[in-house]
Structure 1
Amino acid sequence: MGELKNCPSCGDFFNYTGIRDVCNNCATNEEKLYETVYRFLRKRENRAATVERIVEATGVEESLLHKWVRKGRLQPALFPNLGYPCDNCGKLTTQGKLCTGCTEELKTSLRQFEAAKEFREKVNTEENTYHKDYR
């Protein structure tokens, strides 16, 4: 059984089953827009079009393009200038939630944190060690 939700596009109520995040009417409209974009991108001269160029030529909202790339409906391998914004910095990425730069920055920060944690643990254990002076 689904749950009753408001459609984020039009505001109408719809039965959300986990398959679509919009109502039937909006899903139908999105599908028509997808076909328009896909027909545009299938032309050889448009395969390397940027997101801005696609929006300009088709009138489709940028957020819909990002959604289709994120869901894998538009493949960056076939259309190299497509992507969606990184959740951290907004730079276009083609996989995951973070771009390569933010991923590397996060990994570096985690390594530094782990190194500092190990150092603190080592210092704490050394402070608790008692040395007997045998003079």
Structure 2
Amino acid sequence: MKDVANCPKCGQIFVKALRPICQHCYKEQEANYETVSKFMRRKQNRMASIREVHEKTDVPLEQIHQFVREGRLLVTHFPNLGYPCESCGAIIQDGRLCSSCTDNIKGGLEKLQKEKEFEQKKEEQDRNKRTENVTYHSLNDRFHKK
């Protein structure tokens, strides 16, 4: 049996085949894309920001972000378009995180790796000290008469 699901946008039950939304919401989304696309194709609008596109077309910001994220609106043609970083909300044009958030994550991972290496070295040194300081005594020394 096919996957039956509720549309995440409108809640209507639909057969989930090619799209994650129902046919009605898909048609609405495509109409919104056409509206934005026509607006952006006009020469005077090519430098418009996301906010301006939203205000002039009445298309929700989230959908415009989605069109840019999916590559349907190319940032090479429309340099002022973008979508928010998933961590801090700064406007980006590719990926999921801005360079600042990416650097923070990489720095944190490097710090954790260095701490792990330090702990491993410390444990190894402790093990070496324990094996060096071991003293063995013979039982024969106790019974020796002086």
Normalised by the length of structure 1, the TM-score is 0.90
- Write the distance in 1 (CA, Å) between the matches of 2:6 and 2:89: 27
Partner of 2:81: 82
- Is structure 2 residue 52 aligned with structure 1 residue 53? yes
Question: Matched residue of 2:95: which SS?
Answer: coil
Once the two structures are superposed, what CA deviation does each residue of 1:14-50 show, in whole Å capped at 9, x if it has no partner? Answer: 1112x32211111111111111100100111111111
- Write the distance in 2 (CA, Å) between the matches of 1:120 and 1:79: 50
- Is structure 2 residue 35 aligned with structure 1 residue 36? yes
For residues 4-15 of structure 1, the aligned pairs below 5 Å read 4-15=4-15
Query: Could you list the runs of 5+ residues in structure 1 that have no partner in the other structure?
Result: none
Q: Size of the alignment, in residue pairs?
A: 132
Question: Matched residue of 1:128: which SS?
Answer: helix
From the superposition, tell whether residues 86 and 2 of structure 1 become closer, same or farther in structure 2 (CA, over 3 Å). Answer: farther
Partner of 1:70: 69
- Paired residue type of 2:86: D
CA shift for structure 1 position 82:
1.4
- Write the distance in 1 (CA, Å) between the matches of 2:105 and 2:2: 37
CA shift for structure 1 position 132:
5.2
CA shift for structure 1 position 2:
3.5
- Paired residue type of 1:92: I
Query: Could you list the runs of 5+ residues in structure 2 that have no partner in the other structure?
Result: 135-146
Question: Matched residue of 1:41: which SS?
Answer: helix
CA shift for structure 1 position 59:
0.3
Larger radius of gyration: 2
Normalised by the length of structure 2, the TM-score is 0.84
- Write the distance in 1 (CA, Å) between the matches of 2:15 and 2:93: 31
- Write the distance in 2 (CA, Å) between the matches of 1:83 and 1:21: 23
CA shift for structure 1 position 103:
0.5
Partner of 2:105: 106
Partner of 2:114: 115
48-57 vs 90-99, which moves further: 90-99
Question: Matched residue of 1:111: which SS?
Answer: helix
Partner of 2:137: none
State the identity %.
38
